[in-house]
A and B are shown apart, each in its own frame.
Chain A
Amino acid sequence: MHELPVVLDIVHVMDEEANKNGMKEITRISLVIGELSSIIDESVQMYFEIAAKDHPCEGAKLVFEHRPAMLKCQSCGKEFPHEKNFQCPDCGGDSNLIKGTGREFYILSFDGQ
């Protein structure tokens, strides 16, 4: 729901980077998005198409790389990605969220010329 400020931030960063690297055109932007960031790819894409107009990143392909929240089983200690619930896939035990995981939210890289 808050993808618009995020997209404006992406466009702003890309303006700066294009300028810094002497690029006229940005053709690809790779984004890393943690599961707990509550960001929807399709919404980012939709806003991006509008917000990037007349900027160097207009028309750039957005590549989304997702990172899961990681859990640790309280019984056997196995670490595994959060999927549907908090149950350990090995022993069925309850697990805890490993703090800080799944909150990644950054631009990894971009292509330009």
Chain B
Amino acid sequence: MKMEVIIMKELLEGNEKLAEENRKYFADRHLLAVNLMGAPGAGKTTLISAIAKELKDIPMGVIEGDIASSIDAENLEKQGLRSSQINTCGECHLDARVIRNGADQIDMHDGIVFIENVGNLICPAEFDLGESVRLLAASVPEGDDKPFKYVPMFSYIDVVALTKCDLKEAVGFDSANFLKGLRAVSEAPVFEVSLKKNGNAAGIDALARFLKEKYEQMHQ
């Protein structure tokens, strides 16, 4: 006999459960997990590197998510970060399951763990990884209209690093429009940074302080 069954069954529930387990794992180990998201080329790896230089007194690790290669993990390891590499082999995001493996590999107690997500402004906003902070790297050359266009991502994050701010004038970036779009969907604070290859880093100190405060709050 044919019948209709109402189930109201959440999808991706498996990921949510694993994310909660990860959250407990990080808390038990006094690790502040930061899910760093952003488009390819937004400056995610450079941001981690600059924050690590600012916060030398806090142990840091990184779980690197890339479709292929281990370039970013190797570079950050040279700088003294503990690292593990996850190659998603085409998958457009990291999920909670792979994070646990990555965390076990770096095996840290006490510190900050960056989870550098796959460069993508869409899919990572669907997958809770068990992080405590969702940090978005949005770069000036991407344009000031992105909060209007990528509502799922901009409404998902806790804090924004607006990178490559030294290019504002060159690309005609309208800061007021960016903030207008962001404020429509999020209360996330914005830290403007400009990081250059020659080591000149502007604005990173404020973002580093923000993360340090989160790290210290975790110990209270």
Q: Which residues of A contact B (CB under 8 A)?
A: 1-2, 5-6, 9-10, 13, 17, 21, 27, 31, 35-38, 69, 71, 82, 85-86, 94-97, 99, 102, 105-113
Question: Contacts of B4 on A, CB cut-off 8 Å?
Answer: 109-111
| 26 sample A-B contacts, Cβ–Cβ < 8 Å, listed by A number | A1-B123, A2-B93, A5-B12, A9-B13, A9-B14, A13-B7, A17-B5, A31-B11, A35-B151, A38-B125, A71-B184, A85-B148, A86-B148, A94-B184, A97-B155, A97-B185, A105-B12, A107-B8, A107-B11, A109-B5, A109-B6, A111-B3, A111-B4, A112-B3, A112-B5, A113-B2
CA distance A6 to B186 in the complex (A): 26
Q: Provide the bound-state CA to CA distance between A17 and B125, in Å.
A: 28
- Contacts A5-B95, A110-B5 given: A36-B155 contact, CB under 8 Å? yes
Question: What A residues does B152 contact at CB under 8 A?
Answer: 36-38
Chain B nearest CB, measured from A88 CB (Å): 11
Q: Which of B2, B9, B92, B184 contacts A2 (CB 8 A)?
A: B92
Q: Which residues of B contact A108 (CB under 8 A)?
A: 6-8
Would A38 and B11 be within 8 Å (CB), given that A109-B4, A111-B2, A112-B5 are in contact?
no
Question: Which residues from B are CB-within-8-Å of A99?
Answer: 155
A113 to chain B: closest residue by CB: B2
When the two chains form their complex, are residues B8 and A94 in contact, meaning their CB atoms are under 8 A apart? no
CB-CB < 8 A to B9: which residues of A? 13, 106-107
Residues on the B chain within 8 Å of A36, using CB? 125, 151-152, 155
The answer on a CB contact under 8 Å between B180 and A38 is no
Residue of B whose beta carbon sits closest to that of A1: B92
Query: Please, what's the 1-or-0 string for B77-101, where 1 marks a CB less than 8 Å from any CB in chain A?
Result: 0000000000000011101000000
Number of interface residues, chain B, beta carbon within 8 A: 34
Which residues of B pack against A, CB within 8 Å?
1-14, 91-93, 95, 120, 122-123, 125-127, 148, 151-152, 155, 180-181, 183-186
Q: Residue A106 contacts which of B8, B120, B181 (CB distance < 8 angstroms)?
A: B8
Q: Is B126 touching A112 in the complex (CB atoms < 8 A)?
A: no
Give bound CA distance, A108 to B6, whole Å: 6
The 8 A-B residue pairs whose C-beta atoms are closest, nearest first, are A113-B2, A36-B152, A97-B185, A86-B184, A1-B92, A109-B6, A2-B123, A107-B9
In Å, the complex CA distance between A9 and B6 comes to 17
Given contacts A5-B95, A108-B6, contact A95 B184 (CB under 8 A): yes
Q: Is the CB of A38 within 8 A of B126?
A: yes
**B93 partner residues in chain A, CB cutoff 8 A:** 1-2
CB-nearest residue of chain B to A32: B8
Residues from chain A with a CB closer than 8 A to the CB of B6 are 108-109
When C-beta atoms are compared, the residue in chain B nearest to A13 turns out to be: B9
Q: Taking A69-B151, A109-B4, A109-B7 as contacts, is the C-beta distance between A94 and B122 under 8 angstroms?
A: no
Please tell me which one of the listed residues B8, B12, B91, B184 contacts residue A6 in the complex, with CB atoms under 8 A apart. B12
Give chain B residues whose Cβ lies under 8 Å from the Cβ of A110.
Answer: 4-5, 7
Closest residue to A6 on the B side, CB-wise? B11
Residues of B within 8 Å of A97, CB to CB, are 151, 155, 184-186
Known contacts A6-B12, A10-B11; is-contact A38 B122 (Cβ 8 Å): yes
